[in-house]
Structures are given as structure tokens and as C-alpha cells.
């Protein structure tokens, strides 16, 4: 054999990558290519890709999904910064219990999150029975936009709080001390010292939260709301109307949006934005 | 020790957030063992809902465990060697590959599932077998295995270790199994826990890929939420909780490996 060690090593590395490349190409790249083709192969052709903007029904579904996801992201970040900074900075009795309650829901599938919302604000829900007892009227939110909002908050908060706590651990306390000694108010310290230092973590966890919310299917599916978020619209087109081309086109558009959000966040925040589960 | 009013305000807020997360969990546990949730605990405690779930859905539990283990086996077999190459060769192409592998997680599971159905749905035997779901789970969990192993491999000097072993006459196979793998045990274990947990809970892809004969645990949950009484859905959810708690505890324990804990202690003392 006349091959050099370097060449042998290169061949070995190729051989070790081969299984992954084969499986990934056969079961993701090729199917995705097919999805793109099917999206353009319907009665309307390429125009199916524009349907999400030109068709009022799909456009309103897109807009409500984006608005919902953006609102959830914003609310999650505000809640998580307050609670996360508090848990990171203070030691008190019961702190580890509170931390544990944040970790547990991380592994819940979307369907379980939907069920949690039903138990909380559904027809036989906890909040409903309290308001019935207090005001004689049941408060039922689960099957409306508010229910979706609560469900998306439910799966977003644990992820974002844990990311913020990890970032807050690395903050330089001396900077805050310096700001305070120079006469900065607590609010100024938060605005000018803490938030800028947390920015990369906020951007990356915010992007993950937004992307996950855009694609969340299980939660909306369980709540069976009248509100058509994009994943439910796609599912309906595919299974109820067998409108494969449109379902394919819409899911490509949705995939592009979530991918773009994550890629954009990574280029801004610089750090690796691991995608969401 | 006296605390400022701001402390109590923040504490109250944080407790409220945690209550939002934990109250429904407690409710579902209660509902799962209550005779009639609508009447409340005073209707009596019972295990009959759990028994009923077992008779209706025990198959989904075993299928989920089977698929999770199969997913783990595949991600170990293809993911660990891939991580090794990605760690040893850091160039434009390997970075692209890393990016590519994350795509099934970056795009919604619904898109991946539709794509699989449109291309492979016509192969009946494959479409109706559990291996169709396995494919979806492997795509979805693979990046987590690769990243977790890669993170550990990036922290050790693989090339020096390998060169040392090679200079002592170790073949590649010997180096890989006796030097490289033992050195990234931590990453492999963390990745494995992640893969199993994610596979057990995967719904977005699985819902599209399943058939009435290949129902996984989360699919069964969705089915029970939609068509069974609240108590049965709750009892089923309890079973799901019991199955993921050990995984979560193990992951928590893994995220603070002994050497990090020891280092933290040292820092505190010195």
C-alpha cells in the first residue's frame, strides 16, 4: 500500500461520516426536496408559496401565529428576567424547590402542556372553580387565544429562565457595584448594566422561544381551539382536505421562518443558538 | 436577617410563576386518583383509572420505551463516530454538516413529518411499521447526541491522545474503543439521557407518522385527552410523569459532574 497515513486517516474519517450522511440524505434532505417540489406541484404551481400572503385565510393564520409567538416571547423574557435574576441572586428556604418546579415541565410534550392548560383554565378547571365560588361565574380561557398564550408561556418559561440564570451567574458583580457607587439608581443599574450583559442570552433564548412557538403543534392540537395557528392550518389542509401542495408549501414557509429566526439570532448574539426541543 | 420589600415583591412574583407551572401538575395527579374530579377528593380516592389506562394504553408505553431505546442505539452508532470526525476535522465542510444536522430541530416537526410521508408514504410496509416513527425520532434527536459528545471532545486534546496511543502501536479500532470513547463517557451519557427523554416525549413528528397500531405514549395521551374522561387522561399523565422523573433526575445529576462540583468547592474555599 502506497497511501500515506494522512490519506488513510482522511478515508477513515469519510467512512465514519458515511452512515450519518446516508441516513440524513435519505430521510431528511430527499424528503424535504420532495416537500418543496410537491408545494410547487399543485394546481396553482409555484403560486402556492404565495398563498400564505395572498389568500386571506392563510394570511390571517400566519399573522396570528406570528403575533402570538412574538407576544409569548416578550412576556416570557420579562417574566424570566425578573424570576431568574431573583433566583440567581438570592439564597432562601425553598429556593431549590422552586428551581425544581422550573425544571420538571422541560420534558413535557406539547400535548401534556395543553392538558395542563385545560386543568388550569378549562371547563372543569381550577381557576374556573375559584371564580365561580367568588363571583358565581366560571372563567374559561383554555379554548381561546388566551389559552394558547398560557400554554405557550408554560413551555417557554422554564427554558428561558434556566438560560437566563446560567448567563446571570457569569455577570461581573463589580460592574454593578461601580455603577451604584457612581450614584446609579437600581433601575439604571438594571437598564445600563445588567440587561446589556444579558443581551446575548436574551436574544438566543428569545429566538428559541419564538421558533418553538411558531411550530408548536401539540399544545394547539390538544386545546382544539377555534384559532387557526399555522401548524393547525397545515395539519387541517393535509388531513381534512388532502390539499398536499398547499400543506407542503405552508410548512416550507413556516420552516423558513423558524430557521431564519434562529439563524438571525445566532448572527446577532454570536453564541451558539441550540435549537429547541 | 432582614430583607427589603423588593425581595418579598420579587419572591411573590417568582412563587406565582412557579405556581403557574406546578399547580396543573398537582391537579392532574389529584384528578388521576379521584373517583370523580368534578365532585372532588370527597368522592373518594381510587386506582381504577390507572388500572383502566393500563388496560387501554399499556401497549403505547412499551412501544415508546422500545422506540426510545432503538433511537438511542441508532444515534449512538451513527452520532458518536460523526462527532469524532467533526471534532478532529474542523473546517468549512464539517461546520456545514453540523448546521445541516440541526435543521430537523430548527424547522417544525410537522414539516419533517409531511416530507417523510410524501416521499415514503407509498411504501406500505414501512409506512405502517414502527420503524417509520424511529426514522423521525432519529432525525430529531441526533443533533443533541452529536452536540453533547462534541462538547466533551472539544474540551480534550483528541489528537495528542490518539498520537500517544498510536505511537505505542494501538490500531485505530483499539484507539477508538479504549482511548477515545472512555474519554468522552460524560458527553455520551448526557447525550443518551437527552435522546431517550426527547424520544419518549416526541409528539409533533410522531402524530403524523403513527398508525392506529403504532401509537406511542404521547400519541396515546392526545387520544385520551380528546376522547376519554378527564380522570383517565390524568391517570395516564401520572404514568408519563413517573416515567420521565428518573430521566430528569439523572440529567440534573449529570449536568453537575463530580469534577465541576469539586472545582466549585475548591473555589469557595480558596
B114 vs A120, A214, A248: nearest CB: A248
Closest CA to A127 of A140, A114, A116: A140
Which is higher by pLDDT, A273 or B135? B135
Residue appearing with cell numbers 408548536: A216
Task: For residues A26 and A214, give the distance between their C-alpha atoms in angstroms, rounded to a whole number.
Answer: 27
Instruction: Please give the residue of chain B at the shortest CA–CA distance from A208.
Output: B106
Any idea where the domains of chain B sit in the sequence?
A: 22-256
B1-17 burial string, b = 16+ CB within 10 Å, else e?
A: eeeeeeeeebbeebeeb
pLDDT at A17: 94
DSSP state of B212: T
Q: Does residue B83 sit at the A interface (CB-CB below 8 Å)?
A: no
ipTM above 0.85, yes or no: yes
Task: For residues B28 and B231, give the distance between their C-alpha atoms in angstroms, rounded to a whole number.
Answer: 8
Q: Does residue A127 sit at the B interface (CB-CB below 8 Å)?
A: no
* Inter-axis angle of helices B48-88 and B185-201, nearest 10: 140
- The chain-wide mean pLDDT, for chain B, equals 89
DSSP state of A45: G
In 3-state terms, what secondary structure has residue B121? Answer: coil
- The greatest distance separating any two alpha carbons of chain A, rounded to the nearest whole angstrom, comes to 88
Q: Does residue A79 sit at the B interface (CB-CB below 8 Å)?
A: yes
User: In this prediction, what percent of chain B has a pLDDT beyond 70?
Assistant: 94
- How big is chain B by its Cα radius of gyration, in Å? 23
pLDDT in tens, B242-255: 999 899 888 888 77
Region label for B156, one of left (φ > 0), alpha (ψ between -120 and 50) or beta (otherwise): beta
N-to-C CA span, chain A: 47
Confidence of residue B262 (pLDDT cuts 50, 70, 90): low
Backbone CA torsion sign across B76, A217, A207, A253: positive
Alpha helices in A90-194 (DSSP H): 95-103, 110-121, 126-135, 145-169, 173-181, 186-189
Closest CA to B162 of B138, B139, B141, B178: B178
Backbone CA torsion sign across A115, A251, B140, A240: positive
Note whether B110 contacts A234, CB cutoff 8 Å: yes
Confidence of residue B266 (pLDDT cuts 50, 70, 90): low
Q: Does residue B202 sit at the A interface (CB-CB below 8 Å)?
A: yes
Residue appearing with cell numbers 404514568: B239
pLDDT at B45: 84
pLDDT at A2: 53
Residues of chain A with Cβ-Cβ distance to B201 below 8 Å are 107-109, 112
CA distance A268 to chain B (A): 17
Q: Which neighbouring-strand residues pair with B45?
A: B34
Residues B97/A17, Cβ–Cβ less than 8 Å: yes
Q: Does residue B13 sit at the A interface (CB-CB below 8 Å)?
A: yes
Residues A210/A69, Cβ–Cβ less than 8 Å: yes
The phi, psi pair for B47, rounded to 5°, reads -105, 5
DSSP sequence for B67-88: HHHHHHHHHHHHHHHHHHHHHH
- Cβ-proximal residues to A192 (8 Å cutoff; 6+ apart), any chain: A179, A184
Task: For residues A196 and A23, give the distance between their C-alpha atoms in angstroms, rounded to a whole number.
Answer: 42
Task: For residues B66 and B46, give the distance between their C-alpha atoms in angstroms, rounded to a whole number.
Answer: 30
Which is higher by pLDDT, B35 or A229? A229
Instruction: Please give the residue of chain A at the shortest CA–CA distance from B23.
Output: A120
Residues A138/A129, Cβ–Cβ less than 8 Å: yes
Closest CA to A111 of B226, B20, B34: B226
CATH of B22-256, one of 3.30.420.40, 1.10.3720.10, 3.20.20.100, 3.30.930.10: 1.10.3720.10
- How open is the CA angle A7-A12-A18, to the nearest 5 degrees? 125
In 3-state terms, what secondary structure has residue A137? Answer: coil
Note whether B172 contacts A12, CB cutoff 8 Å: yes
pLDDT at A104: 86
pLDDT in tens, B72-117: 999 999 999 999 999 998 889 988 999 899 999 989 999 999 999 9
pLDDT higher than 70, residue B267: no
Q: Does residue A149 sit at the B interface (CB-CB below 8 Å)?
A: no
DSSP sequence for A170-223: T--HHHHHHHHHTT--HHHHIIIIIHHHHHHHHHHHHHHHHHHHHH--HHHHHH
pLDDT at A149: 95
Q: Which neighbouring-strand residues pair with B34?
A: B45
Residues of chain A with Cβ-Cβ distance to B216 below 8 Å are none
Task: For residues A68 and A262, give the distance between their C-alpha atoms in angstroms, rounded to a whole number.
Answer: 17
Cα separations in angstroms, A89 against A42, A58, A173 = 57, 46, 11
C-alpha cell of residue B97: 454538516
CA distance B154 to chain A (A): 14
pLDDT at A277: 38
Residues of chain A with Cβ-Cβ distance to B20 below 8 Å are 120, 153-154, 157
Q: Does residue A6 sit at the B interface (CB-CB below 8 Å)?
A: no
A54-64 burial string, b = 16+ CB within 10 Å, else e?
A: ebeebeebbeb
A83-98 burial string, b = 16+ CB within 10 Å, else e?
A: bbbbbeeeeeeeeeeb
Per-residue model confidence as pLDDT tens for chain A (277 residues): 556 888 888 999 999 999 999 999 999 999 999 999 998 887 888 888 888 888 888 999 999 999 999 999 999 999 999 999 999 989 999 998 999 888 888 889 999 999 999 999 988 888 888 888 888 888 888 888 899 999 999 999 999 999 999 998 888 888 888 988 898 888 888 888 889 889 989 999 999 999 999 999 999 999 977 778 999 999 998 988 888 899 999 999 999 999 999 999 988 876 544 444 3
Task: For residues A74 and B214, give the distance between their C-alpha atoms in angstroms, rounded to a whole number.
Answer: 38
H-helix or E-strand containing A67? helix A56-89
pLDDT higher than 70, residue B261: no
- How big is chain A by its Cα radius of gyration, in Å? 23
User: Domains in chain A, ordered, with CATH?
Assistant: 1-40 (no CATH), 50-269 (1.10.3720.10)
CA distance A213 to chain B (A): 10
In 3-state terms, what secondary structure has residue A226? Answer: coil
Amino acid at each position: 500500500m502506497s497511501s500515506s497515513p494522512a490519506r488513510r486517516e482522511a478515508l477513515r474519517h469519510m467512512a465514519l461520516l458515511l452512515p450519518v450522511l446516508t441516513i440524513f440524505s435519505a430521510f431528511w434532505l430527499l424528503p424535504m426536496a420532495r416537500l418543496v417540489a410537491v408545494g410547487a406541484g399543485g394546481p396553482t404551481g409555484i403560486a402556492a408559496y404565495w398563498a400564505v400572503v395572498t389568500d386571506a385565510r392563510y394570511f390571517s393564520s400566519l399573522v396570528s401565529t406570528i403575533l402570538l409567538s412574538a407576544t409569548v416571547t416578550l412576556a416570557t423574557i420579562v417574566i424570566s428576567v425578573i424570576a431568574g435574576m431573583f433566583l440567581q441572586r438570592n439564597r432562601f428556604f425553598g429556593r431549590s424547590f422552586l428551581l425544581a418546579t422550573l425544571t420538571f415541565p422541560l420534558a413535557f410534550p406539547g400535548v401534556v402542556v395543553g392538558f395542563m392548560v385545560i386543568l388550569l383554565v378549562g371547563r372543569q378547571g381550577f381557576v374556573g372553580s375559584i371564580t365561580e365560588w367568588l363571583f358565581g361565574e366560571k372563567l374559561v380561557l383554555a379554548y381561546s387565544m388566551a389559552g394558547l398564550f398560557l400554554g405557550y408561556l408554560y413551555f417557554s418559561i422554564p427554558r428561558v429562565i434556566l438560560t437566563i440564570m446560567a448567563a446571570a451567574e457569569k455577570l461581573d458583580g463589580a460592574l454593578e457595584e461601580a455603577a451604584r457607587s457612581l450614584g446609579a439608581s437600581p433601575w439604571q443599574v438594571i437598564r445600563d448594566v445588567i440587561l446589556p450583559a444579558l443581551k446575548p442570552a436574551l436574544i438566543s433564548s428569545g429566538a428559541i422561544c419564538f421558533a418553538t412557538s411558531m411550530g408548536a403543534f401539540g399544545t394547539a392540537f390538544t386545546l382544539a381551539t377555534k384559532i387557526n395557528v399555522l401548524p393547525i392550518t397545515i395539519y387541517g389542509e393535509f388531513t381534512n382536505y388532502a390539499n398536499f401542495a398547499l400543506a407542503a408549501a405552508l410548512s416550507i414557509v413556516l420552516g423558513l421562518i423558524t430557521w431564519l429566526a434562529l439563524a438571525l439570532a445566532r448572527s446577532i448574539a454570536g453564541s451558539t443558538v441550540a435549537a429547541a426541543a | 436577617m432582614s430583607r427589603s420589600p423588593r425581595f418579598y415583591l420579587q419572591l411573590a412574583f417568582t412563587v406565582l410563576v412557579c405556581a403557574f407551572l406546578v399547580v396543573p401538575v398537582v391537579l392532574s395527579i389529584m384528578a388521576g386518583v379521584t373517583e370523580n374530579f368534578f365532585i372532588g377528593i370527597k368522592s373518594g380516592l381510587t386506582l381504577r383509572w390507572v388500572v383502566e389506562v393500563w388496560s387501554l394504553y399499556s401497549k403505547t408505553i412499551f412501544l415508546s420505551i422500545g422506540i426510545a431505546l432503538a433511537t438511542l442505539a441508532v444515534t449512538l452508532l451513527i452520532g458518536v463516530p460523526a462527532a469524532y470526525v467533526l471534532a478532529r476535522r474542523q473546517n468549512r465542510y464539517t461546520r456545514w454538516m453540523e448546521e445541516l444536522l440541526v435543521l430537523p430541530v430548527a424547522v417544525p416537526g410537522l414539516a419533517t413529518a409531511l416530507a417523510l410521508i410524501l416521499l415514503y408514504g407509498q411504501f406500505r410496509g414501512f409506512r405502517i411499521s414502527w420503524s417509520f416513527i424511529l426514522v423521525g425520532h432519529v432525525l430529531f434527536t441526533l443533533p443533541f447526541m452529536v452536540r453533547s459528545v462534541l462538547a466533551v471532545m472539544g474540551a480534550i486534546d483528541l489528537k495528542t491522545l490518539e498520537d500517544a496511543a498510536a505511537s505505542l502501536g494501538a490500531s485505530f479500532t483499539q484507539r477508538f474503543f479504549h482511548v477515545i470513547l472512555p474519554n468522552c463517557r460524560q458527553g455520551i451519557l448526557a447525550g443518551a439521557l437527552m435522546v431517550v427523554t426527547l424520544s419518549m416525549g416526541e409528539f409533533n413528528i410522531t402524530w403524523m407518522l403513527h398508525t392506529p397500531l403504532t401509537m406511542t405514549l404521547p400519541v396515546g395521551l392526545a387520544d385520551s385527552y380528546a376522547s376519554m374522561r378527564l380522570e383517565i387522561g390524568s391517570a395516564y399523565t401520572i404514568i408519563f410523569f413517573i416515567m420521565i422523573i428518573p430521566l430528569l433526575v439523572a440529567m440534573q445529576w449529570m449536568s453537575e459532574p463530580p469534577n465541576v462540583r469539586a472545582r466549585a468547592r475548591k473555589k469557595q474555599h480558596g
